[in-house]
Amino acid sequence: MGKLLTRASDFLFKNQTLRQTAAKNTIWLGISNVGGRLLKAAIIIYAARLLGAAGLGVFSYAVTLAGFLSILIDMGVNQILTKSIAASNDQKERIQFISTAFFMKIGLLAVGTALIILVGPHLTSLEEAQALMPIVAIIFIFDALREFGFAFIKAIEKMEYEAGLYIFTNLAVVTFGFFFLFLSPTPRALALSYAIGTGLGATATFFTLRHHFRQLFTGFTKKLIKPILTLAWPFAISGLLGGLMLNTDILMLGWYTSAEDVGLYSAAQRIIQILYILPAILAASILPIFARLAAGDKEKFRRVFERVASIILLAAIPIAVGGAILNKEIITLIFGFPFLAAAIPFALLSLTILADYPSVILSNAIFSYNKHRKLVVFAAIGGFGNVVLNFLLIPRYGIIGCAIATLITQIISNAYLWGQMKKINPFSVHKGLIRMTGATLIMSLVVYILNTAGLPLIGTVIIGIITYFSTLTILREPILKEIRSVFRSSA
C-alpha cells in the first residue's frame, strides 16, 4: 500500500518524463478546470433559476462587455511569460523577465480599468448592466493578477498549484454567491460575489508564489520592454480579434435583441464554455513540451503532435454530436423549462466543438514554431467573420442566427489553421479519424433510440459513452493503448 501511494505521489507531484509530465499536468489542470468551473456553474445555474433569463442576461452582458474592453489592452504578456520562463535556465534573466512583465501588466491593468469604468456604460442601453461596471472592473483586476501568477505556474510546470488555487477561487465565488443571492436576488449581488471571490484567489496566488516573486518589484529592467512587446504584438492583435469571435455574440445580441435573449444564449454558451476547457487543459500542459521540441526535434514534435491531436479528436467528435442530439434534455435539466428556447442554439454551438478542440492544439503548435502572424490571420478570420455574419443573421434569426454565425466562422478559421500546420510540419490523423467517426455514428444511433424511448438523460449519456469506447476497442484504436501506456509507465 505504501509503495502504491509513493508511486501515485511521484506521478502527481514530480516531473519525470515528457509523457508523464504532460499527463500529470493534464490531470491537475483537468481537476482545477472541471472542478472549478463546475463550482462556478452551480452558482450560475442557481442565479439563472432565481433571476430568470433577463437577470442572467444583464450580468452576462456586463461581464462580457468588460472582458471585451480588457482584451483591447491585453498585450499577450502572460503567454510570453510562460514561453520565455519555460525556455530559460538563467535565474537572473528569469527574475528580470518576471518583474518587467509584471510592471507592464500593471500599466495595462490601469488602462483597462479606466476603459471599463469610463467607456463601458456608454456601450450598452441596459441600465442595470451600466450600474455593474465598477464592480466588474474590480473582477477584471483580480482575475488579471491571478492569471499572471498562473502563467508563471505553467512555465515551471507545477499545475498542481494552479489546480488548488483555481478551485479555491471558484469555491469562494460560489460561497459568497449563494450568500449574497439569498440576501438579495439581483445581478449586482452576483457581481459582488465574483469580485470578492476573485480577490481572494489573486491574494492566494501571490502568497503561494511569494518565494518565486521575491524580487518582483526590484528586477525591472527597461531593456526587456521592447523585446517583450516585439514578441507580444501578435498576441495583442490575435487576442483582440479572438475577442471579437468570443465576445461579439453576447454584445451584438444585446444591441439587436433583449436582455432575455442575451440570457437564453448565455445559458447555452455557458455549457459549451465548460466543454471547451478540455482541449485548453491539454494544450496548457503540453505547451512547454511543444516549445522545447519545436526548437530542435521536428520529427519527435510531429509524433507528439499527432498523439495529442488524436486524443483531442477522440473527445471532440462524440461530445459534439451527442450534445447536438440531446440539446433539449441538457438545457432543461440544467436551467429548467423556462430556458427551452436555448436548446437549438445549444445544438448548433455543440457542433463548434468539432472546430474548437483541434484549433486550440493547432494554435499552440504553430505558436511553438514562432509563426505568430499565422495566428493573427486565424483570429482575423474568426473575429471579423463572426461580426459580419452576426450583423447579417441576428436581426432576422435572433439567437439561432448568432449560433449559426459562430459555427460557420469556427469551421472556416479552423480549416485555415489545419492547412498552415500541415505546411509547417506535415502530420496525419486520418486513420484514427475514420475509426472515431464510425464509433460516433454507432453511439449516435444508440443515444437517439434511448432518448426517443424516454430513458433519463444521465443513463443515456453513460450508455452512449460505453458504446463509443467499446466500439473503439473493437476497432483497435491505437490511441487508447497510448493513453493507457502513459499511466502504466508511471506506475
Cα 246 to Cα 368: distance, rounded to the nearest angstrom: 23
Domain boundary assignment for the chain: 2-428
- In contact, 81 and 154? CB cutoff 8 Å: no
- In contact, 297 and 289? CB cutoff 8 Å: no
Confidence of residue 18 (pLDDT cuts 50, 70, 90): low
Cell 489545419, residue located:
418
For the cut 80, the answer to whether the pLDDT of residue 101 exceeds it is yes
Q: Which of 6-15, 323-332, 389-398 has the lowest mean pLDDT?
A: 6-15
SS3 318: helix
Q: Comparing 331 with 287, which gets the higher pLDDT?
A: 331
Q: What angle do CA 359, 312, 413 make, to 5 degrees?
A: 15
Average confidence (pLDDT) over 462-476: 92
The pTM (predicted TM-score) of the whole model is: 0.76
pLDDT reported for residue 243:
62
For the cut 70, the answer to whether the pLDDT of residue 445 exceeds it is yes
Confidence of residue 7 (pLDDT cuts 50, 70, 90): low
Confidence of residue 491 (pLDDT cuts 50, 70, 90): very low
Give 193-210 pLDDT, tens digit per residue. 999 999 999 999 999 988
pLDDT reported for residue 412:
94
For the cut 80, the answer to whether the pLDDT of residue 189 exceeds it is yes
Give 219-233 pLDDT, tens digit per residue. 888 888 887 777 777
For the cut 50, the answer to whether the pLDDT of residue 428 exceeds it is yes
Sign of the torsion angle spanned by Cα atoms 209, 367, 72, 56: negative
For the cut 80, the answer to whether the pLDDT of residue 50 exceeds it is yes
List, as one string, the DSSP characters of 173-208: HHHHHHHHHHH--SHHHHHHHHHHHHHHHHHHHHHH
Give 310-323 pLDDT, tens digit per residue. 888 899 999 999 99
Give the rounded percent of residues in the chain with a pLDDT score beyond 90: 33
Query: What does pLDDT average to over the chain?
Result: 84
Average confidence (pLDDT) over 390-413: 94
Q: Comparing 172 with 258, which gets the higher pLDDT?
A: 172
Cα 389 to Cα 404: distance, rounded to the nearest angstrom: 8
The count of C-alpha atoms lying within 13 angstroms of the C-alpha of 176, restricted to the half-sphere facing its C-beta, is 19
- In contact, 264 and 402? CB cutoff 8 Å: no
Residues recorded for the chain: 491
Average confidence (pLDDT) over 453-457: 93
Average confidence (pLDDT) over 113-128: 82
Confidence of residue 265 (pLDDT cuts 50, 70, 90): very high
Confidence of residue 12 (pLDDT cuts 50, 70, 90): low
pLDDT reported for residue 212:
81
SS3 471: helix
